[in-house]
Amino acid sequence: MDFTIKTRECVDQIPPYVPGKPIEEVQRELGITSVIKMASNENPLGPSTEVRQALAQNLDKIGYYPDANVFYLKEALAKELDVDPDMIVFGNGSDDVNKVLGETLLNPEDEVIIAQPTFSQYEYITLLMGAKPVFIRSEHLGHDLSAMLEAVTSKTKLVFICNPNNPTGTIVRKDELTRFLTELPKGITVVIDEAYGEFVTDPDFLSGLECLKMGFTNVVVYRTFSKIYGLAGLRLGYAIANPVLIEQMNRVREPFNVNLLAQTAGIAALNSKMHLTLSKELVKAGRSYFYEQLDAMGVKYLPTQANFILIHCGKDSRSIYEFLLQNGIIVRATHSFGLPEYIRVTFGTAEQNERFFKVFKQAVNAEMD
Ligand SMILES: Cc1ncc(COP(=O)(O)O)c(C=O)c1O
């Protein structure tokens, strides 16, 4: 087809996002109804009862635009985090917050330091802005903060730390993080993405918020309501940072980037303490169960601080992924992370976890035949 419009050069550099299969599509293809998704690190409990009620009560309001300042949710969250409301900016998921930060900070030619493997959106925003990603692969598949520090040049503008990291579930240690922040030259922004922060049980974890409170004013913390709060489909995330940067980000973001129901749900989610506790417990139980089962099978994995686990299949994981899919279990093949021998599995309910292992064992046995 004749098409002569020339898009920005950087767009060609962006790898297309490969979405996982939706449950409904797999159900339709396989002709079965009992499909489970353990692929996108969502909460298998879904949203809390409080959130469901708040949504039902506010449906009539969606004829109006949402509050562009996200006033009530911001107030509630600021109180919860013990920070000033002007240190918070919300977005249509933390993906949106990430895009706004990139648009606020990055000029073409700026360098951005990104661990490998990690979440794809850091590379995306870097390339979108015409900036240069500098990838630092770590031996242990987490973050090698020393190597990341060594990679700093006069062009470095931004560093991404995903803590816990997606897809590995690893964390950076307290002293590693404070050393890194102390030694980093001034003027470089450090994103600490804590999409999975609520699931961490390791006492050697230091939150980005603590770093901000310790005086590392160049830190930007990303958090989301998509994971532990069970609101992935509503799209709600936020950043906590220095008010000067937040003010600049507010100029860049779209005025109505947080929809009305997401704002309502966010407030109710913050008040759903029991749901939070149950969700954390579920993940803890999932972790122990997976460790136990994988150890018994002699299958290697990375110990995880998140609500998912990276499992080493020993060879290309495509066939195991397909076998699971054919049996109604959607997991994440990690080829796009540069990890073709792994799958990433989100912990489900106890019943879902058991079903996963029933099929996974068949898949592994079929591989060995
Ligand atoms: C590390 C990390 N950050 C951010 C996100 C995106 O979160 P949100 O749904 O708030 O856009 C994800 C989602 O998978 C993630 O893994």
Helix (H, G, I), strand (E, B) or coil at 4: coil
- 196-243 pLDDT, tens digit per residue, is 999 999 999 999 999 999 999 999 999 999 999 999 999 999 999 999
Alpha carbon distance 5, 8 (integer Å): 10
* Ligand 1 atom closest to the CA of 96, numbered from 1: 11
Mean pLDDT for the stretch of residues 172-187: 97
> How many CB atoms neighbour CB 287 within 10 A?
21
**Atom 2 of ligand 1, residue of closest alpha carbon:** 195
Residue 301 DSSP class: B
93 close to 115: Cβ distance less than 8 angstroms: no
- 72-104 pLDDT, tens digit per residue, is 999 999 999 999 999 999 999 999 999 999 999
pLDDT band at 5 (very low <50, low <70, confident <90, very high): confident
Domain boundaries, given as residue ranges, for the chain: 19-46+274-368, 49-270
pTM above 0.95, yes or no: yes
- 293-305 pLDDT, tens digit per residue, is 999 999 999 999 9
> How many CB atoms neighbour CB 19 within 10 A?
8
Best of 99, 114, 116, 119 to mutate for ligand 1, by most ligand atoms within 8 A of CB? 119
Centre of ligand 1 to C-alpha 195, Å, is: 6
> How many CB atoms neighbour CB 296 within 10 A?
10
* Ligand 1 atom closest to the CA of 95, numbered from 1: 11
Please give the CATH architecture assigned to the domain spanning 49-270.
3-Layer(aba) Sandwich (3.40)
Domain 19-46+274-368 class in CATH: alpha beta
Instruction: Provide the strand spans (E) within the chain.
Output: 36-37, 88-91, 111-116, 132-137, 156-162, 189-193, 219-224, 237-240, 308-312, 329-330, 332-333, 342-346
Q: Give the residues surrounding ligand 1 with Cβ less than 6 Å away.
A: 41, 93-95, 119, 162, 166, 193, 195, 224, 226, 232, 237
CATH topology match: 19-46+274-368 vs 49-270: no
pLDDT at position 56: 98
